[in-house]
Chain A
Amino acid sequence: MNGTPGKPATLADVMAQALAMEREAVQRYDALADVMEVHHNREVEALFRKMAQIEAKHAAQIAAEMGWTDPSDEPPSGRSPFAADGPESIPEDAVHYLMWPWHALQLALSAEQRAEAFFAGLAVTAPSAAVRQAARRLRDEEREHVALIRAWIEKTPQPGSDWAEDPDPPRYTD
Chain B
Amino acid sequence: MNETCSAAAVPVHGDYKSKTKPVWCPGCGDFTVLGAITRALAALGLPAHEVAVVSGIGCSSRIPAYTTCYGFHGVHGRALAAGTGLKVARPDLTVLVTGGDGDGYSIGGNHFMHACRRNVDLTYIVMDNHVYGMTKGQASPTTEPDWDNKLSPGGTGIRSFHPLVIALASGANFVARAFSGDTSGTARIIAEAIRHPGFSFVEVLSPCVTFRPEQRGWKELVHQAAVDPTDDAARAARRIMTDDGFNLGVLYAGARAPYPLKRTGTPCEPAALEAPFACGEGAA
Among residues of A, the one whose C-beta sits closest to the C-beta of B206 is A93
Please indicate the chain B residues that have their CB under 8 angstroms from the CB of A85 in the complex: 183-184
Q: How far is the CB of A139 from chain B (nearest CB, A)?
A: 25
Residues of B within 8 A of A83 (CB): 184
Cα separation A85 to B180 with both chains bound (whole Å): 13
CA distance A173 to B39 in the complex (A): 35
Q: Name the residue of chain B whose CB is nearest to the CB of A27.
A: B14
Known contacts A39-B26, A92-B31, A93-B32; decide if A171 and B210 are in contact (CB<8 Å).
yes
CB of A11, distance to nearest CB on chain B (Å): 24
A163 at the interface (CB under 8 A from B): no
Is B91 located at the chain interface by the 8 A CB criterion? no
Residue-wise, chain B 117-130 has the 8 Å CB interface mask toward A (1 for contact) of: 00000000000000
Determine the chain A residues whose CB is within 8 A of the CB of B14 once the complex forms: 27
Contacting residues of chain B (210-243) with chain A, CB-CB under 8 angstroms: 210-211, 216, 219
A80 to B207, CA, bound (A): 26
In the assembled complex, the Cα of A101 lies from the Cα of B25 at a distance in Å of: 18
CB contacts under 8 Å to B, within A49-97, are: 80-85, 91-97
B87 interface residue (CB < 8 Å to A): no
CA A172 – CA B22 in complex, angstroms? 23
Are B187 and A82 neighbours in the complex by a CB distance under 8 Å? yes
B-side contacts of A99, CB under 8 Å: 26
Check: A37 CB closer than 8 A to any chain B CB. yes
B21 touches A38 (CB 8 A): yes
The answer to whether B93 has its CB under 8 Å from any CB of chain A is: no
Distance in Å: Cβ of B191 to nearest Cβ of chain A: 8
Q: A1-B183, A171-B136, A172-B136 are in contact. Are A92 and B35 (CB under 8 A)?
A: yes
Instruction: Give Cα distance in the complex from A95 to B181, angstroms.
Output: 13
Shortest distance from the beta carbon of B32 to any chain A beta carbon, whole Å: 5
**Within 8 Å CB of A35, what residues of B?**
21-22, 24, 26, 31
Give the residues in chain A near B85, CB-CB below 8 Å.
none
In Å, the complex CA distance between A83 and B39 comes to 9
The answer to whether the Cβ of B262 comes within 8 Å of any Cβ in the partner chain is no
Taking CB atoms, residues of chain A closer than 8 Å to B216 are 93
- Residues of A close to B13: CB separation below 8 A: 81
**Interface membership of B166, Cβ < 8 A:** no
Given contacts A38-B22, A39-B25, A171-B137, contact A93 B180 (CB under 8 A): yes
Is B188's beta carbon under 8 Å from chain A?
A: yes
Give the chain B neighbours of A92 by CB distance below 8 A.
27, 31-32, 35
- Per the bound structure, the CA–CA distance linking A97 and B14 in Å amounts to 24
Interface assignment of A174: CB less than 8 Å from any CB of chain B: yes
- CB neighbours (8 Å) of B25 from chain A are 39, 97, 170
The answer to whether B183 touches A173 (Cβ under 8 A) is: no
A108 within 8 A of B: no
Which B residues are CB-close (under 8 A) to A94? 27
**B182 / chain A contacts, CB cutoff of 8 Å:** 1
Contact of A82 with B32 in the complex, beta carbons under 8 Å = no
Do B137 and A173 have beta carbons less than 8 Å apart? yes
Residues of the A chain whose Cβ atoms lie less than 8 Å from the Cβ of B210? 170-171
Q: Are A82 and B136 in contact (CB under 8 A)?
A: no
B12 at the A/B interface (Cβ < 8 Å)? yes
The smallest C-beta distance from B34 to any residue of chain A, in angstroms, reads 9
List B contacts of A80 (CB < 8 A).
43
Tell me, in angstroms, the Cα distance from A96 to B25 when the chains sit together.
8
Q: Does A141 contact B (CB under 8 A)?
A: no
Q: Closest CB of chain A to B68's CB: distance in Å?
A: 15
Interface flag for B56 (CB, 8 Å): no
Instruction: Indicate if the CB atoms of A93 and B149 lie closer than 8 Å.
Output: no
Interface residues of A (CB under 8 A from B): 1, 3, 27, 31-32, 34-39, 41, 80-85, 91-97, 99, 170-174
Known contacts A38-B23, A81-B43, then 4 further A-B pairs from the complex at CB < 8 Å, ordered by chain A residue: A1-B181, A85-B183, A93-B207, A174-B150
Q: Report which B residues bind A (CB closer than 8 A).
A: 12-14, 21-29, 31-32, 35, 39-40, 42-43, 136-137, 149-151, 180-185, 187-188, 191, 207, 209-211, 216, 219
Q: Can you report 12 residue pairs joining A to B where beta carbons are below 8 Å apart? A: A1-B182, A1-B184, A35-B26, A38-B22, A82-B188, A84-B183, A84-B184, A93-B28, A93-B180, A94-B27, A171-B137, A173-B151
